[in-house]
Copies of this chain bind each other. A is one copy, B any other.
Amino acid sequence: MPTRTVEDYIKRLYLAEQALTRTSSGNAKVDPKSRKKTGGKSDSKAGLVMLSKLAQAMGVVPGTVTTMMRTLDEAGLVKYEPRSGCRLTERGRKLALHVIRRHRLVELFLVRTLGLDWSEVHEEAEVLEHAISERVLDRIDRHLGRPLFDPHGDPIPDRDGKLPKRAESSLLECEKASRVKVSRIEHQDAKFLNFARDNGLIPGEVLIVVQVDTTAGLVIVRGSAGIEIPLGTTAAGRVRVVKA
Give the size of the chain A interface in residues (CB under 8 angstroms): 18
* A82: interface (CB < 8 Å): no
Interface residues of A in 59-116 (CB under 8 A from B): 110, 113-116
CB of B127 within 8 A of CB of A114, answer no
Q: Is the CB–CB distance between B110 and A124 below 8 Å? A: no
A120 within 8 A of B: yes
Number of identical protomers? 2
Are A135 and B113 touching (Cβ within 8 A)? no
CB neighbours (8 Å) of A120 from chain B are 135
Residue A57 interfacial (CB < 8 Å)? no
Minimum CB distance partner of A131 in chain B: B131
Asked whether any CB of chain B lies closer than 8 Å to the CB of A128, the reply is: yes
Measured between beta carbons, the chain B residues less than 8 angstroms from A113 are 113, 143
Query: Which of chain B's residues has its CB closest to A127's CB?
Result: B131
A134 CB to nearest B CB, Å: 11
- Is the C-beta of A139 less than 8 angstroms from some C-beta in chain B? yes
* CB-CB contacts below 8 Å: A18-69 with B: none
A133 at the interface (CB under 8 A from B): yes
In the complex, what residues of B have CB within 8 A of residue A167's CB? none
Chain B nearest CB from A220 CB (Å) reads 36
Which residues on A are within 8 Å of B, measured CB to CB? 110, 113-116, 120, 124, 127-128, 130-133, 135-136, 139-140, 143
